[in-house]
Chains A and B, each alone.
Chain A
Amino acid sequence: MSTTSQPAPPRQYRKPLVRVLQVAVHLGALLPLVWLFYAIPRGALGGDPVKELIHFLGLGALRLLLLTLLVSPLARGLGFGQLIRLRRPLGLWCFAWACLHFATWLSLDLAFAWGLIGDELVKRTYILLGFSAWLILAVLALTSFPALVRRLGRRWKTLHSLIYPALLLVCVHFWWSLKSGWIEPAIYLSLALGLLWFRRRLLPWPRKLPATSKP
């Protein structure tokens, strides 16, 4: 992974390789959703798939978020700058999964009982954390169109640094949402902290994010 060896593929293959990887990202994020259509009626998520479906979608969104944040260290480490083209589709797919996760909770679990939904959003801190992360992702998704990216210029980068607090919010949301067991959320949190560690010098507010420097 050292920057001097630059194990990136030969120059002429890079562009087609990025294309292939882009297609892989789209398929990788889409196919599990297609799979759900066939698997749920066949009982793959159990007799009552609602809770499992929410969990499946939430965990998928978290994984996509981690992958999104893996892109730039990987591009830098491999000296393969064009990999950065994977970042936007990964981020947008992460938002799509997060939307489905949120929408499933609203519709299939709480049945659009808005009074209850409002109460739960305010009363349950872990839901509030997840909701805040979703709002951040929404802002980032809406400002990811190339035209807006150009117009925002330098401010785009600052705005999109919000992805780091969002990542931590999601990890805590996941941990807190579980009835028991800590090993799985701890693995995800360490992966997240690892990704933040790569960027410790680049973070715009290193002193304001004590959680990243603790371990």
Chain B
Amino acid sequence: MLIKSLTRGEAGENQVTPEDVYLNRRRFLQGLGAGTALAATGSQAGLLDFLSPSAPQTPATGAAPRAPLRYQAGKLESGLILTPEEKATNHNNYYEFGTDKTDPARNSQGLKTEPWTLRVEGEVAKPGTVDIGELIGSAALEERIYRMRCVEAWSMVIPWVGLELGKFLKRFEPTSKARYVAFETLYDPEQMPGQRSSFVGGGIDYPYVEGLRMDEAMHPLTLLSLGIYGQTLPPQNGAPVRLVVPWKYGFKGIKSIVSIRLLEKMPPTSWNLLAPQEYGFYANVNPEVDHPRWSQASERFIGPGGLLDVKRQPTLAFNGYGEQVASLYAGMNLRKFF
């Protein structure tokens, strides 16, 4: 079902949510939520706030501005529930801005994302740089609603907006020698406190680097994301451009990318360098291979409910995208290449 919605250009104009409706949907939903919450809890609303859906706000003062995007709307796979935007933008791993889940939203709002150039080089016939502002304006963007599984055993469902990485890379004409793709996050200690101090940055050797095999990078599910929830990315989610590989653990989705390099050899990756026994290069979501310190067989889904509304669900092989991607790993021992 999901695959169908992805076959290029199939969704007609009538399927695209009108922008004003889309842009106002949150206000509508908030109003709806507030109404039901009020009706349900009545005068005790204040006390029972603890149990009701948390509605954290992006820091009001100095929150980085976001712009609405034009894109072809995606479909929500049946059975999936969207993670509320407030949760997806206030629960982030972005160690450049601190290791607590709330640190990135708090510390990243000043990140300067304009202008932003992304370099594509290495084993390509036409190396070059791309201005992300121009890319946002010119590329045919589409929405992809994906499950997101963090290696820490929690998950979300997030509507990404972006373009297929494969299509993007083809512009630069990869050579036959290109077998891997290496990505690099901005290195700017002045803007990123985690890069200034190992105490803030969790001991990672910055800049953060990630990598994919060429066939993984060219897979139609792999997304170069420029936005979430209909708008450009907020800094804590990796503005202005990040990677989304839905069948892999979230740490593969490198944020705020400045460089993409096509290579003959497998590139190093940050978490693997920090703890090779815990994080592999492939990092495919696999319920059968536990993290040394916790089980990967199930996950806590972060949905619209309150604190006590715990939804523990089984983790799916390849995060539920096995039908599309399992063949990439045919014959590989996924316990060894975790």
Identify the A interface with B (CB < 8 A).
37-38, 40-53, 107-111, 113, 116, 119-120, 123-124, 126, 176-177, 179-184
Contacts and interface: CB of A to CB of B under 8 A. Distances in A.
Contacts of B312: 110-111, 113
B293 A177 contact: yes
Contacts of B57: 43
B90 A47 contact: yes
A41 B50 contact: yes
A116 B105 CA distance: 32
Contact of B100 (A40, A52, A176): A52
B130 interface: no
B155 to A, nearest CB: 10
A48 B100 contact: no
B55 interface: yes
B203 A180 contact: yes
Nearest to B47: A37
A40 B49 CA distance: 9
A43 B56 contact: yes
Interface in B286-319: 290, 293-295, 297-298, 300, 302, 307-308, 310-312
B101 A51 contact: yes
A176 B154 contact: no
B308 A181 contact: no
Interface string B40-80: 00000000011010111100000000000000000000000
B3 to A, nearest CB: 29
A42 B293 contact: no
B294 A108 contact: no
A46 B56 CA distance: 7
Q: Which 3 A-B pairs have the closest CB atoms?
A: A43-B56, A47-B87, A47-B90
B307 A47 contact: no
13 contacts: A41-B55, A43-B55, A44-B56, A47-B54, A47-B89, A48-B87, A50-B154, A50-B307, A52-B101, A108-B307, A123-B290, A124-B293, A180-B274
A40 B55 contact: no
A46 B298 contact: no
A124 B198 CA distance: 27
Contacts of B105: 46
A88 to B, nearest CB: 30
Contacts, number: 105
B293 A47 contact: no
A41 B53 CA distance: 7
B310 A108 contact: yes
A43 B306 CA distance: 11
B86 A47 contact: yes
B203 A41 contact: no
Contact of A41 (B52, B88, B204): B52
B56 A42 contact: yes
Given A43-B57, A51-B101, A52-B101, A108 B308 contact: yes
Interface residues of B, number: 42
B199 A43 contact: no
Contact of A119 (B91, B295, B300, B310): B295
B154 to A, nearest CB: 7
B199 A44 contact: no
B272 interface: no
B175 interface: no
Contacts of B198: 181, 183
A46 B49 contact: no
B99 interface: yes
Contacts of A46: 56, 90-91, 100-102, 105
A137 to B, nearest CB: 22
Identify which of A113, A124, A181 gathers the most chain B CB atoms within 10 Å of its CB. Answer: A181
A108 B300 CA distance: 9
Nearest to A53: B307
B264 interface: no
A181 B88 contact: no
Nearest to B275: A180
Contacts of A123: 290, 295
A48 B302 contact: yes
A179 B199 CA distance: 13
B320 interface: no
B204 A111 contact: no
Contacts of B290: 123
B69 to A, nearest CB: 22
Given A38-B49, A42-B56, A124-B293, 18 more contacts: A37-B49, A37-B50, A40-B50, A43-B57, A44-B102, A45-B101, A46-B56, A46-B90, A47-B54, A48-B101, A48-B154, A48-B302, A50-B154, A107-B310, A108-B310, A111-B300, A180-B99, A183-B198
A40 B159 CA distance: 25
B91 A48 contact: yes
Interface string B84-122: 101111110001000111100100000000000000000
B300 A47 contact: no
A111 B275 CA distance: 28
Contact of B310 (A111, A177, A180): A111
